[in-house]
Structure 1
């Protein structure tokens, strides 16, 4: 095989050398040209006197995959129909007319060399090209000699495999030794290599639905296609439109690949009558083309991956000669927002004028930034505030290609709805082997944002036309993404903190690492005015106070300095917390004072004995796998597991130091953060950071540790820490990447699929009431639990069993009597779901690896912790069988009391959410409305620990 490649390269090199020699001899004959145009020019005209083709290089754009081999005899003559010939995707340079028409010869080096006996061999196919196949309009049968005049067998069929050369970039096989007839043609046409080959490839792949499609080729239309309301076939209970909506819902809900969707089409077709009136189509491309009326226009831009110059098309950069290209796909923000507002109930979910209690931070609306703009009249009714977010994700495991979508979430939506994929605005997607340059993402959507800020009239479901305004209030991302968006140096550079101007110092012996020792005197807080001043003087090579130039966010945000939050997902849970855990388990230096690696087996036994409640997605994993833990597992370790597991093993001084971090995390991530808890958290973090170098290596005082000092101020500016957390957004990139099926036109597949995802709820809601609509709703809202009945906002899981009078415990009778509750019939059940929590009775054996018996509940206006003994359903009727008479639900809970709280570095401050408990003999009868959350129970070293959920917003 190596010999074959060597032979091919030799032929290519010889041909190229011959061309260069002829080119140097003929340069002085170039008419009307002071200098030769660059080879990367997108369009190149041909001289008026030209009647044939010179032997010149033609750069073919790599754009095709191997599908078929041309087996029909081919006769091609190239003769321009006018004085100028234009080509796309490469450069054709002609300067002198030739004496006779010539035809192209394709070489393996991406160049087409025109000679007297050119050869073009397309990749092999499973079936030959049929003579009666329909040809594209510009590729006639006469021009290709396929009209039956020549029926000789092509010589390519007799060539050995050694003579074929395959180019991985273009997907074409080339054989320079095959002869193609050069008989005169009956029709003149222009030779455009990329376009002609593209049409030919498309022709020969008709009916092959497993190949990727190009969404840009589809016609954009604004209404439902005419045949949409026709029945699938005569007498069918479902229309063509309903059928495709149901298939789309099913495909997006279960993340089906293109090949799987095609197989689904074929399966459905098997069940349909094979009659002429059957209009169902099994074409994947026709399926996506049908929904072009909701997709809207897409704008594609191309950039050089080296100098980031915008290119006219997918061509080599004329500035730096770089051939690697990055893409930007722009989608209409207004169209996406319009699709949301047209959904029934969407507008009613928006909270424009929330009540604010001074000194209490419950969401972004309570932050100082939001309240300041509201007091100035900038925010109010029908004004949306947006939060930006971006992060890179690998598109393919075998490629360096990454995507950087730019997302905007709507702060006025409830937190539970705020980050659902159908409620996110995706105005732009960057796709390339390098990160996008600073300011480019925002600059590309600047005009759209300014239009929304000025106000746009939208059709609102149930409200008619409304003038809606929207502007960016805040943003988040991991540390590298924030530095990119702020146009600042990365975290290992001088003055790289986004909040203060501390310079930092390089770590000795590690020039790529920068340390930020605790020094309050150097922590001058950044202001908007100073950042603008630094932006005017700073450059990429010479930043001023870490600022490399003006920031594009400044043109679309009222205060981008205050509005950019700190992401605790990467900084706290996956940063400082993970580093401390690895320090404790380190075996490289067991003599270090902080290492407890010798006790890892004991710690593992304790950790693996924990049975989390059902709302916690993951069960604990071994500490041996800590390098593979997800950030959500690290979060559970810090907030819930770490103190009980480390208690008695880690020295008390270290446990207090670690407890200070745990307590601060609890306070800053609470449902509501008060001014008092904000001050306490600030003091705890200041103590923690100032003593970090005493407990651990001073060389670990990196940016993540330093940013702990700024977390309280971020909460004061933007609300609780979970507002700026990337946890709900981190999975969005994964959802987007699942929409890509195949490596070609990935950015276009993403753009098309994103628009379908955003519009799917509206498509389903617009369906008439039918079994199709019911099916779509059930698929989109599929439940994990089978519920028997929903009562008082709670779902009863499992059967309700009769509770015989003689089996009712004495404690239960006393509780009922003390609460003056009378009944004539009592049923009991084991599980109840309310909100995102599942509560399980202690008498149940629902799961052996989960424990959902502990609950936080309210009794006499006080919060308590206890264990659910059973669930009761009380009737005032005496119906023997199951009836629909009025009933009440109660949870019988055994109260637990705190016997020990963990200490911190501040004597009067204790860890609030993780404590040691003891069961009492007090029982409470609690209605479901007073249940506040399911807790984590940990029985460690014969001690009972309970961890209370930090908030009701985040999913563990």
Structure 2
């Protein structure tokens, strides 16, 4: 509506190119699809000049009362063309929340698990119970808002953030061994491409690699599934990398933040009458609160503490600061180390400490990363123990058991180490967000300054393989 173009189901409906598309039979009806054009998948490309020209011609058609008004999908002028420095093509984002998550990812789950398609060659509907068992056994980290829900029973209720979690973290671990190798490797192209395009600070080469993944995904889609499913959402994947080049990582121009604000506004409605006034009053009140705080609340008083607890109820109470940006969470307890832990500590120190009695704790907050040791008993449905760290110049992975403070050893004053169970990564790649790992019997003391980031450990029930899932960024909220 804003660009004054045709909808997704019309000819020339792609805003980035002038591919017409075609009509394909889909069940009892029809769908407008965009077959992959091998020699020119992204073209012919639109530009500001041809959009203005097409809008003038459409306006002329309207004045002449022609039966067909739209020209190359343009129904008339858009107010956006009156901004001289605004590029109406590159400046219009492809929203990955609707296009990739609620579009392509939702479509893939339908193709694999819908009972209406169970006779298709690509269907794995008869394995849905096994996939659900694996999915619901996963213990995500605390920054994943929703726990995994059943595909068979709850898919119709899934929110966009659940499709996001499935795409980026759960999909490959739970589908491995169930989806055939060809389709599994095909889907992995999409997973890795979206991970790269969501990363903070992806290089040009990485974006080019993501684009090649998406091109390959599109080129084989019709062959592995059916042309009737190659809708606009699937076609727009070929333009997704260009959107990142122009506008930044996908999360910087998605609708997640707007959906979040919609929920915020809905909470301001208390009745069915005068809804507009309720929202305006609520927003005005919230905007006025910081000003009232500055006038009437004294810093450091009990009233100030109450205000901060109401303003930010979910912020964890930090304990002792270990170093800049790293805080202890929870209590510190003295304990006698086990033989395995003491051996690992001796190896790290390169000498035997005078005793085996140390201050230990189970949780830290580290530069927007939360790391909870496996010994933290209150974590039953979540797992925040996985870390990525550097050791002898190499990238390594492990699961923290607990933390040891070495303040009683002069040579290591005020040092904190994570007593960690090491994981062996068999397919490390910086471009991959999901890495297969194997448990080892090796334990190691890792200085917390060597921890690069926290990760998600995924070990689906019944699966022989475990996985480490890396987060593409720390700024996007689901």
Q: Which residue of 2 aligns with 1:485?
A: 2
Distance 1:503 1:533, change over 3 A: same
Give the whole-Å Cα distance in 2 for the aligned partners of 1:553 and 1:806.
68
Q: Which residue of 1 aligns with 2:141?
A: 613
TM-score by length of 2: 0.88
| Superposed displacement of residue 801, structure 1 | 0.8
| Superposed displacement of residue 773, structure 1 | 3.7
Q: Which residue of 1 aligns with 2:446?
A: 925
Give the secondary-structure state (helix, strand or coil) at the position aligned to 2:467. Answer: strand
Match of 2:114 among 567, 586, 601: 586
| Superposed displacement of residue 700, structure 1 | 0.9
Answer with 542-551 or 856-865: which moved more: 856-865
Match of 2:125 among 597, 609, 619: 597
Q: Which residue of 2 aligns with 1:551?
A: 78
Give the whole-Å Cα distance in 1 for the aligned partners of 2:44 and 2:252.
25
Answer with 615-624 or 754-763: which moved more: 754-763
Match of 1:743 among 269, 272, 287: 272
Give the whole-Å Cα distance in 1 for the aligned partners of 2:164 and 2:337.
46
Say yes or no: does 1:496 pair with 2:13. yes
Give the secondary-structure state (helix, strand or coil) at the position aligned to 1:530. Answer: helix
Say yes or no: does 1:669 pair with 2:190. no
The gaps in structure 2 that reach 5 residues or longer are: 63-67
Alignment of 1:288-437 (within 5 A): none
Distance 1:766 1:860, change over 3 A: farther
Give the whole-Å Cα distance in 1 for the aligned partners of 2:339 and 2:443.
20
Give the secondary-structure state (helix, strand or coil) at the position aligned to 1:843. Answer: coil
Contact 2:11 2:22 in 1 (8 A): yes
Give the secondary-structure state (helix, strand or coil) at the position aligned to 2:90. Answer: helix
Q: Which residue of 2 aligns with 1:529?
A: 49
| Superposed displacement of residue 923, structure 1 | 1.8
Distance 1:728 1:835, change over 3 A: farther
Q: CA RMSD in A?
A: 2.8
Structure of larger gyration radius: 1
Give the secondary-structure state (helix, strand or coil) at the position aligned to 1:593. Answer: coil
Match of 1:683 among 212, 218, 230: 212
Deviations 1:560-584 (A, max 9, x none): 3211111111111111111111111
Give the whole-Å Cα distance in 1 for the aligned partners of 2:266 and 2:164.
25
Give the secondary-structure state (helix, strand or coil) at the position aligned to 1:493. Answer: coil
Give the whole-Å Cα distance in 1 for the aligned partners of 2:108 and 2:247.
28
Q: Which residue of 1 aligns with 2:435?
A: 915
Q: Which residue of 2 aligns with 1:380?
A: none
| Superposed displacement of residue 860, structure 1 | 4.7
Alignment of 1:428-447 (within 5 A): none
| Superposed displacement of residue 748, structure 1 | 2.8
Q: Which residue of 1 aligns with 2:407?
A: 875
Distance 1:583 1:861, change over 3 A: same
Contact 2:346 2:352 in 1 (8 A): no
Deviations 1:163-211 (A, max 9, x none): xxxxxxxxxxxxxxxxxxxxxxxxxxxxxxxxxxxxxxxxxxxxxxxxx
Give the whole-Å Cα distance in 2 for the aligned partners of 1:502 and 1:673.
29
Deviations 1:808-831 (A, max 9, x none): 733333243139999997300112
Give the secondary-structure state (helix, strand or coil) at the position aligned to 1:863. Answer: strand
Deviations 1:813-868 (A, max 9, x none): 32431399999973001122234432121233222221221112344554322111
Give the secondary-structure state (helix, strand or coil) at the position aligned to 2:424. Answer: strand
Give the whole-Å Cα distance in 2 for the aligned partners of 1:582 and 1:499.
27
Give the whole-Å Cα distance in 2 for the aligned partners of 1:824 and 1:875.
13
Q: Which residue of 1 aligns with 2:35?
A: 517
Give the whole-Å Cα distance in 2 for the aligned partners of 1:838 and 1:646.
28
Distance 1:806 1:568, change over 3 A: closer
| Superposed displacement of residue 641, structure 1 | 1.0
Match of 2:93 among 565, 574, 578: 565
Give the secondary-structure state (helix, strand or coil) at the position aligned to 1:919. Answer: strand
Contact 1:487 1:547 in 2 (8 A): yes
Say yes or no: does 1:944 pair with 2:466. yes
| Superposed displacement of residue 931, structure 1 | 4.0
Match of 2:234 among 705, 722, 727: 705
Contact 1:823 1:875 in 2 (8 A): no
Q: Which residue of 1 aligns with 2:422?
A: 895
Say yes or no: does 1:796 pair with 2:328. yes
Give the whole-Å Cα distance in 2 for the aligned partners of 1:529 and 1:622.
49
- Give the aligned length: 459
Distance 1:760 1:860, change over 3 A: farther
| Superposed displacement of residue 775, structure 1 | 2.5
Say yes or no: does 1:852 pair with 2:384. yes
The gaps in structure 1 that reach 5 residues or longer are: 1-483, 879-885, 902-908
| Superposed displacement of residue 887, structure 1 | 3.2
Say yes or no: does 1:730 pair with 2:270. no
Say yes or no: does 1:779 pair with 2:319. no
Q: Which residue of 2 aligns with 1:767?
A: 296
Distance 1:819 1:733, change over 3 A: farther
Give the whole-Å Cα distance in 1 for the aligned partners of 2:229 and 2:351.
58
Give the whole-Å Cα distance in 1 for the aligned partners of 2:341 and 2:420.
13
| Superposed displacement of residue 529, structure 1 | 1.4
Distance 1:689 1:791, change over 3 A: same
Give the whole-Å Cα distance in 1 for the aligned partners of 2:178 and 2:378.
33
| Superposed displacement of residue 549, structure 1 | 1.9
Give the whole-Å Cα distance in 2 for the aligned partners of 1:943 and 1:745.
56
Give the secondary-structure state (helix, strand or coil) at the position aligned to 2:406. Answer: strand
Distance 1:768 1:898, change over 3 A: closer
| Superposed displacement of residue 771, structure 1 | 4.2
Give the whole-Å Cα distance in 2 for the aligned partners of 1:485 and 1:782.
38
Match of 1:694 among 220, 223, 226: 223
| Superposed displacement of residue 744, structure 1 | 2.8
| Superposed displacement of residue 870, structure 1 | 1.5
Say yes or no: does 1:829 pair with 2:368. no
Give the secondary-structure state (helix, strand or coil) at the position aligned to 2:383. Answer: coil
Give the whole-Å Cα distance in 1 for the aligned partners of 2:419 and 2:477.
26
Q: Which residue of 1 aligns with 2:65?
A: none
| Superposed displacement of residue 892, structure 1 | 2.4
Answer with 523-532 or 770-779: which moved more: 770-779
Match of 1:816 among 348, 351, 355: 348
- Per residue, is there more helix in 1 or in 2? 2
Give the whole-Å Cα distance in 1 for the aligned partners of 2:409 and 2:36.
70
Q: Which residue of 2 aligns with 1:630?
A: 159
Give the whole-Å Cα distance in 1 for the aligned partners of 2:193 and 2:354.
46
Give the whole-Å Cα distance in 2 for the aligned partners of 1:651 and 1:762.
60
Give the whole-Å Cα distance in 2 for the aligned partners of 1:623 and 1:671.
31
Give the whole-Å Cα distance in 1 for the aligned partners of 2:322 and 2:130.
45
Distance 1:688 1:820, change over 3 A: farther
